[in-house]
Amino acid sequence: MKKAREYVVAVVGASGAVGEEIFRVLEECKFPVKKIVPLASERSVGKEIEFARKKYNILETTHEIFAKEGVEIAFFSAGGAVSAAYAESAAKAGAVVIDNTSHFRMEKDIPLVVPEVNPQDIAQWRKKGIISNPNCSTIQMVHILAPLHKAFGIKRVDVSTYQAASGAGKRGMEELVMQMQAFFAFKLDEVEAQVFPHRLALNVIPHIDVFMPNDYTKEEMKMINETHKIMHTNFAVSATCVRVPILRSHSESISIQFEQEVSVERARAVLADAPSVVLYDDPARHRYPMPSFVSETDQTYVGRIRADNFDKHILHLWCVADQIRVGAATNAVRIAIKWAQMQD
Ligand code: A2P
């Protein structure tokens, strides 16, 4: 029997929140790994990561390392500046780059992929050697929107997000924990926000990423523009993105206006069959998705599906997904799995 092909896999940002999760997801799904190449900044050189019960030294990210190590798949999760500096070197060395940052997402010749929605776009990877992983809030939203759009046609979407600290990486999570500790030590007034624009503990912040000239934040515009690119649509989308004092799962309240009248029952039937979606909608028994039990899972949970009181074309719903997994590491590994299937 032909032996399955195995790949040399690099993770740039190996010491970060998403990088560490990529190793876990690769291991859990038994991705065919020949060799792991963990990369980070020079600060992490000498530290180790564990993968499949073996220890690997973290190496410094350089332009030459990808060719030197024979990297075939390079996950980038070290921020936009690092992708801008090194992703093209990895691609030139022959690797497919799966980039978690926003750096290349809207570039014409770079596919932006959620495998449950637009797997066909992966085929364009050869143009630049790079596939972009979308924004975390966008991924979980299109898990819900794509099957509903296919079934009923969407005219307009209004979304408000409740985004966890993990979206700002390990430093964001540490800042929230530190602020909560300060609260219990009666020292909350003494903490200074560094990662977030204001104190996050006991607060919500309607400001993620920078403000744009149209008064939306960049995060909000990412949700709009990326949804259009992934779904190949241009229906109206409006977003309000809010940071909440939660460690690692994003929640979203979504209102959807359809081209036709859609009942709650029909929408439920579609979502019950949607890939990577769990319908968890039994309000009478207080069952609806929450970060407390959705964290560390690989599905987008949806509930609170209800009809608008005034317009039969509109439904409202609530979805929650683990930002580090569904919104980053798991989607990236799912892209790698589809890409590898195309190479066979
Ligand atoms: P390091 O730990 O060496 O700084 P997070 O998103 O959780 O904050 O993680 C960011 C990741 O990006 C870390 O692994 C970090 O490595 C890595 N990183 C930061 N700056 C660089 C850089 N200049 N080159 C390579 N990796 C970097």
pLDDT in tens, 240-252: 999 999 999 999 9
Alpha-carbon distance of 168 to 128, in angstroms, equals 27
pLDDT under 70 in the chain at which residues?
1-3
Task: Indicate which residue's Cα is closest to atom 21 of ligand 1.
Answer: 41
**Whether the Cβ atoms of residue 41 and residue 26 lie closer than 8 Å to each other:** no
Whole-structure pTM value: 0.97
| Phi, psi (degrees; rounded to nearest 5) at 321 | -150, 150
Catalytic residue among 103, 241, 250, 319: 250
Alpha-carbon distance of 144 to 147, in angstroms, equals 6
Burial class (CB in 10 A: 0-12, 13-18, 19+), 211: exposed
Task: Indicate which residue's Cα is closest to atom 6 of ligand 1.
Answer: 169
**Residue 323 is assigned to a ligand binding site:** yes
166 C-beta closer than 6 A to ligand 1 = no
**Whether the Cβ atoms of residue 300 and residue 143 lie closer than 8 Å to each other:** yes
**Residue 334 is assigned to a ligand binding site:** no
What one-letter code names the amino acid at 176?
A: L
What domains sit in the chain, N to C, each tagged with a CATH number? 7-133+328-342 (3.40.50.720), 137-164+204-321 (3.30.360.10)
**Residue 167 is assigned to a ligand binding site:** yes
65 C-beta closer than 6 A to ligand 1 = no
Alpha-carbon distance of 227 to 235, in angstroms, equals 9
Work out whether the CA dihedral 289, 244, 275, 328 comes out positive or negative: negative
Task: Indicate which residue's Cα is closest to atom 14 of ligand 1.
Answer: 13
- The share of the chain scoring above pLDDT 90, in percent, equals 99
Confidence at residue 3, expressed as pLDDT on a 0 to 100 scale: 67
Phi-psi region of 330 (alpha: psi -120 to 50; beta: other; left: phi over 0): alpha
C-alpha 328 to ligand 1 mean position (Å):
15
Distances (CA, A) of 153 to 147, 276, 319: 9, 20, 19
Is 316 among the residues known to form the active site?
A: no
13 C-beta closer than 6 A to ligand 1 = yes
